[in-house]
Amino acid sequence: MTACVTGSASGIGAATRRMLEDDGHDVIGVDLRDAEVEADLSTQEGRDSAVAAVVAALGERPLDRLVCCAGLGPTVPPRLIAAVNCFGVVDVLDGLLAAMRDGGTPAAVVIASNSATFAAGDDDSLCDALLGDDRAAALDLAETLPAAQVYGQSKRAVTRAVRRRAQQWGEAGVRLNAVAPGPVDTPLLAAVEASELGAAAAALPIPLGRHASAAEIAGVVGFLLGPASAIVHGSVVFADGGIDAMVLPDRI
Ligand code: NAD
């Protein structure tokens, strides 16, 4: 089976790549560097060229698995966070759906974040803008907001993007789900810990008392891609040691 993993060069994407390869998949990685497809998902040109290069690498083969891991933490400029974390996911999803229709029990997973809920604030303006028609205006709005809020809103946007595609993707026979991790020990989290956001991140209690490893998140992705989750579609699986349940116990 053939899989595509964005953000395959580091962290959760690299662990997911290893998991899929160990399972016998042929993996087409997409990343800025050290990948089969080297592309910048922050630009429209980069996203278009990434999709075209993945389709070219597939040749006659369908795409059986897609995992969108590429993302940026709240330590880089807000415009970049919004572009990669939202547009870099939805354009890859929409660009590769056609290639997945003929896959063997095809399935896709988006790595969102538990920041999509409690950490994104109550004002959904940026989330709405990111999913709207005027992307330039959405990026301008992102620039006016704190990076941590933009990060949370970008993750809320991709989570909604997954849920909004449930009908279309279901009709196409392709399952699509999201994973919402909490703290995962990767270079992205190390950068947060070293920044002015580090103290707040460290102060947040974690019911299970520890961070996840990238391999643990890859394990959840593996479940969502495989036959044991055949009826799971349009779902968001929190893999955050219980943080979301602790902060919002009565949300459901
Ligand atoms: P990471 O930094 O280890 O890996 C991210 C990868 O994305 C890198 O290889 C990077 O080169 C790639 N990438 C970044 N910008 C790109 C661009 N413009 N074009 C193409 N590739 C690009 O980080 P990670 O922690 O493994 O993050 C993976 C995903 O998990 C991200 O979407 C992140 O938001 C999410 N996440 C991480 C945590 C955490 O605590 N680490 C928690 C929740 C969600």
The kind and range of the H/E element at 144 are none
pLDDT score recorded for residue 243: 97
Of 151, 169, 197, 241, which residue is the catalytic one?
151
2-238 CATH: 3.40.50.720
Distance between CA 122 and CA 21 in Å, rounded?
40
Q: 43: CA distance to ligand 1 center in Å?
A: 16
Q: 71: CA distance to ligand 1 center in Å?
A: 4
Determine which residue's CA is closest to atom 41 belonging to ligand 1.
184
Distance between CA 200 and CA 3 in Å, rounded?
37
pLDDT score recorded for residue 161: 98
32 noted as active-site residue: no
pLDDT score recorded for residue 221: 99
Domain boundaries, the chain: 2-238
Of residues 53, 50, 52, the one with CA closest to residue 70: 50
Of residues 156, 102, 93, the one with CA closest to residue 127: 156
Distance between CA 143 and CA 129 in Å, rounded?
13
Contact 98, 163 (CB under 8 A): no
The two three-digit tokens of residue 126, written as one number: 């940026």
Distance between CA 142 and CA 178 in Å, rounded?
23
Q: 221: CA distance to ligand 1 center in Å?
A: 15
What are the per-10-residue average pLDDT scores of the chain (252 residues)?
A: 98 98 98 98 98 98 98 98 98 98 93 91 93 98 96 98 98 98 98 94 95 98 98 98 96 88
Ligand 1 pocket, residues with Cβ under 6 angstroms: 7, 9-13, 31-32, 40-42, 69-72, 84, 111, 113, 181, 183-184, 186-189
Q: What are the residues facing 29 on neighbouring strands?
A: 5
Q: Find all residues with CB under 8 Å of 41, minimum gap 6, and list them.
A: 6, 30, 47, 50, 70, 83, 84, 87, 88, 91, 92
